[in-house]
Structure 1
Amino acid sequence: MAAPRKVAFVLSFLGLMSALSSEASTDIRKIRELAARDNVTCILVFGDSSVDPGNNDYFTTTVKGNFPPYGKDFFSGRPTGRFSNGRLATDFIAEALGSTKAIPPFLDPKLSRLDLLHGVSFASAASGYDELTANISGVLPVYKQLNYLLHYKVHLRKLVGRSLAEKILHNSIFVMSMGTNDFLLNYYIDPTRSAQYTIEEYQDFLVTCMSSDIKEMYRLGARRMVIVGIPPLGCMPLVRTLAGTTGCYENYNNVSSLFNSKISTRLDELRGTLGIKTVFLDANKMIMDAINNPQKYGMTETSKGCCGTGTIEYGDTCKGLTTCLDPDKYVFWDAVHPTQKMYQNVTLDVDEKIVSDEICAL
């Protein structure tokens, strides 16, 4: 009985991505039927600004995106704390599942009972696998995000009872997306880790941290996990500017590729030891495809962001600045973060071979 359920999960995810790659409403209905059949209604999210819908708004930190022009293309054009002009990839996944059009931050005091059932994000912008990364910016490290998962479980048990709460957790899709800040805000700036590790040793350290996090999530009820790799660091407008190059800074891109490869290898090991179902999404490959083939996605600007000059501004330095006329033509919203359109493309353009391999493996 276990094997069919494992395949059903991956088929559901394959169906999700297939549905997202078409605008046909019939495809969306199909994935929602698959999700309902396999009880996939809840998404629980951990990570950094790539998946933080605004948790940083609710505690003291300078890392916030709850002001214009962030949120320019979000519903009602309001900033939420998302570091983009609109929705994030996890929002689009939730919509395709029929859960919600936007995953709320767990720390939002207006969080509803329905939100608890459909999914929340515990992510915190500027966080990372390395606890030091979060401490540098005063944001939520992974262990605190997992502490909030415990709070979530308490609320869920009160709402639906212990047995059903555990069933919801086991059927939920846990998404973890982070790692960028470990390099850009930590290793390459703060002297602590670079004095302790070579870049490859630090990658191994981060993969070990990730592995420990996944094991703890498994202990707390996670059975279905999606791990998102890091993007091409060397193609970020900020990195290009600081490196003084018009093209992508290949040294950093090589770091991204190698790190993602290490993540994928460790996930294979964890599937074997824990029996947890995992899918790896290669954000590096997806974004590089958009940069190298922008016309494929209806884009024209791949080297700078939409906010301000598009070369150095992000976070506070983007506050109140003018923006480009059409963000959908841009890969990057600010000098670090993708546009809503790019996040949607990441969701649309998942490498089918990865998913197919997962089906064979499970």
Structure 2
Amino acid sequence: MARRAVVLALALAAVMPLLSGGVDTQQVKLLAAKFNVTCVLVFGDSSVDPGNNNYIATPMKGNFLPYGKDFFRGRPTGRFSNGRLATDFIAEGLGYTKAIRPFLHRRLRPVDILHGVSFASAASGYDELTANLSNVLPLSKQLEYFREYKMRLRQIAGARKAENIIKNAVAVLSMGTNDFLQNYYLEPIRPKQYTLEEYQNYLASCMSDDVKTMHSLGITRLVVVGVPALGCMPIVKTLMNQDTCVDKYNNLSSSFNSKLNVKLDIARKELGMKIGYVDAYRTVQDAVNNPEKYGLIETSKGCCGTGTVEYGDTCKGMSTCADASKYIFWDAVHPTERMYEIIAGQAVDCLRKQLMG
């Protein structure tokens, strides 16, 4: 196995105990520095957007209460959760920051540039049309901002060091949900052009092209997050009038993730990239089926409002459950901070096994 894969795996493996609350952050930081993991670069949708949408003209925002009520100082940041996201926990484990900043933040600091930012935009997807429907940042625009990021990094660190930082960075790509729930199943354009299977193939091809672009821009280590169990989302169960997870949508998630993995295997071989895959589908489904394993209680509805339909604007100013840490879902679509912490822990564990196996 290539040395850099082992380096990444060892550094990420060290994060696992931290996510369970058992390791000193400083110790993990020193370990990460020893193994030369430089920063975290994030691309995707609301699952990893820490607030980029605050700075663009779109209705898809989460910069109001009760979003962020359990974040530091209880303030909304634009994260579609009660607190932090999985990428925040991973970055903390690596010792860089407790909360990744959005690249569009007006007061972005040099330290943020050096240790990683998020380019993600809530409501985006692999399909460019998905982002355009909500006037958010498509992946092509996120990659354009990444090019700008690289220029700013060179200004701060110099060309040689900047190249090394990008080479040893961990990039995260997490999206796909909106392509189905906000685009294919709601809008008439794509269903007229593609069958569901053809659309899945189209999205997987889009992802593959984006990975090639990332590689051409210097990214050598990539973590791709699969689509979660869509049929277990409270809003899907409500719309389908079911109390349990909807098989039709879960089967879609599983099928699409399989297609992603085929493309990722090809990318590993053709590009020589180190690519890890995070099975968010299995993690969410396991939490739904075995909540006590994770200290959870409520699996069927979200913490905001009725927990059955509210998300985004319809969650604004709503009352919430007493203890979000016992819930899988914060609103009818997005996970709680506790669930994101679980996903982060499982993600690191999967990466350790994949990259060291």
In structure 1, the residue matched to 2:14 is 15
Letter in 2 for 1:316: D
Structure 1 vs Structure 2: percent identity of aligned residues?
Answer: 58
TM-score, normalised with respect to structure 1: 0.95
User: Are 2:258 and 1:261 aligned?
Assistant: yes
Deviations 1:245-295 (A, max 9, x none): 010111000011111122122111111110101110010100111100111
User: Are 2:22 and 1:24 aligned?
Assistant: yes
User: Are 2:261 and 1:292 aligned?
Assistant: no
Shift of 1:21: 4.9
Task: Write the distance in 2 (CA, Å) between the matches of 1:164 and 1:141.
Answer: 29
In structure 1, the residue matched to 2:217 is 220
- Pairing partner for 2:268 from 271, 285, 293: 271
Deviations 1:160-209 (A, max 9, x none): 11111111001111000000000000111111111111111111111110
Task: Write the distance in 1 (CA, Å) between the matches of 2:166 and 2:141.
Answer: 18
Task: Write the distance in 2 (CA, Å) between the matches of 1:350 and 1:106.
Answer: 23
User: Are 2:135 and 1:138 aligned?
Assistant: yes
In structure 2, the residue matched to 1:78 is 75
Consecutive unaligned residues of structure 2, counting only runs of 5 or more, are none
In structure 2, the residue matched to 1:42 is 39
User: Are 2:97 and 1:103 aligned?
Assistant: no
Question: 1:356 is paired with a residue of what secondary structure?
Answer: helix
Question: 1:221 is paired with a residue of what secondary structure?
Answer: coil
- Pairing partner for 2:158 from 136, 157, 161: 161
- Pairing partner for 1:305 from 280, 286, 302: 302
Letter in 2 for 1:46: F
In structure 2, the residue matched to 1:248 is 245
Consecutive unaligned residues of structure 1, counting only runs of 5 or more, are none
Letter in 1 for 2:250: N
Task: Write the distance in 2 (CA, Å) between the matches of 1:10 and 1:265.
Answer: 22
Question: 1:25 is paired with a residue of what secondary structure?
Answer: coil
Contact 1:55-1:107 at 8 Å conserved across structures:
yes
RMSD: 1.4
Shift of 1:15: 3.2
Letter in 1 for 2:187: D
Letter in 1 for 2:105: D
- Pairing partner for 1:335 from 327, 332, 336: 332
- Pairing partner for 1:348 from 327, 345, 348: 345
Task: Write the distance in 1 (CA, Å) between the matches of 2:81 and 2:353.
Answer: 31
User: Are 2:74 and 1:93 aligned?
Assistant: no
Task: Write the distance in 2 (CA, Å) between the matches of 1:202 and 1:76.
Answer: 42
Task: Write the distance in 1 (CA, Å) between the matches of 2:72 and 2:4.
Answer: 36
Question: 1:56 is paired with a residue of what secondary structure?
Answer: helix
Q: What does 1:320-331 align with in structure 2 at a 5 Å threshold?
A: 320-331=317-328
TM-score, normalised with respect to structure 2: 0.97
